Amino acid sequence: MTDAVTRERFERLLLPHMDAAYSLARWLMRHDALAEEAVQEAYLRAFRFFESMRGEEARPWLLGIVRNVCYTALQQGRGTAACDAFEDERHGEDAVAPGAVVSFPINPELAAIESADRELVHRSLDALADEFREALVLREIHGYSYREIATIVGAPIGTVMSRISRGRRLLQRLLADGIERKDTAA
């Protein structure tokens, strides 16, 4: 394949997913400029390895690269400090089996969720451990299927299901706690 043909194919298949790439990077890095950097790096890497993308869906393939770039950057100390609000739970319950029961508290939590504002939703998502935040972002914001998410994060579908379920439970609790704190401070 000539360089021109490769480039044309790359642009046709991968550039339409740049917004999705940025959105995922932003949620993982929690920083605008670092997310931009990660997307740049991911596209460069994708271009370098583009020939290896054969018969795969372009979007999950690209987002898998974005994810790897982000986690590499975070491991190297770039990116914002992670909030450890849920570290105890993370370590205490991380061995949860795929499909494990995750029960939701029932209403009146509904009122708390419905009254959450933008700031609280962002703060609560940021407070989640990485694997829960990325699963929820990919599902709720990007609308990917479980199978697509499994491809992107390189995990079995059962693990994806479990992370989405637990992520929702944790997020719901964070929103309810945030509303409570607001009410108390008022």
Partner 1 sequence: MNCRDAAKIMDAYADGELELANAVALEEHLNVCQRCRGIERNLGALRGAVQAHTGLERADRKSVV
Contact positions vs partner 1 (CB under 8 A): 7, 10-11, 15, 18-19, 22-23, 26, 32, 36, 39-40, 43-44, 47, 99-107, 109-110, 113-114, 116-118, 121-122, 125, 136-137, 139-141, 145-146, 161, 164-165, 168, 171-172, 175
Smallest gap from Cβ 176 to partner 1, in A, equals 10
Per the rule left: phi > 0, alpha: psi between -120 and 50, beta: everything else, 97 is: beta
Smallest gap from Cβ 137 to partner 1, in A, equals 8
Q: Are 167 and 133 in contact (CB under 8 A)?
A: yes
Nearer to partner 1, 82 or 157 (CB): 157
Tokens 């494990």 correspond to what residue? 100
Smallest gap from Cβ 147 to partner 1, in A, equals 9
Nearer to partner 1, 75 or 107 (CB): 107
Nearer to partner 1, 80 or 145 (CB): 145
Q: Are 65 and 111 in contact (CB under 8 A)?
A: no
Q: Are 25 and 133 in contact (CB under 8 A)?
A: no
Nearer to partner 1, 18 or 75 (CB): 18
Nearer to partner 1, 101 or 186 (CB): 101
Smallest gap from Cβ 55 to partner 1, in A, equals 22
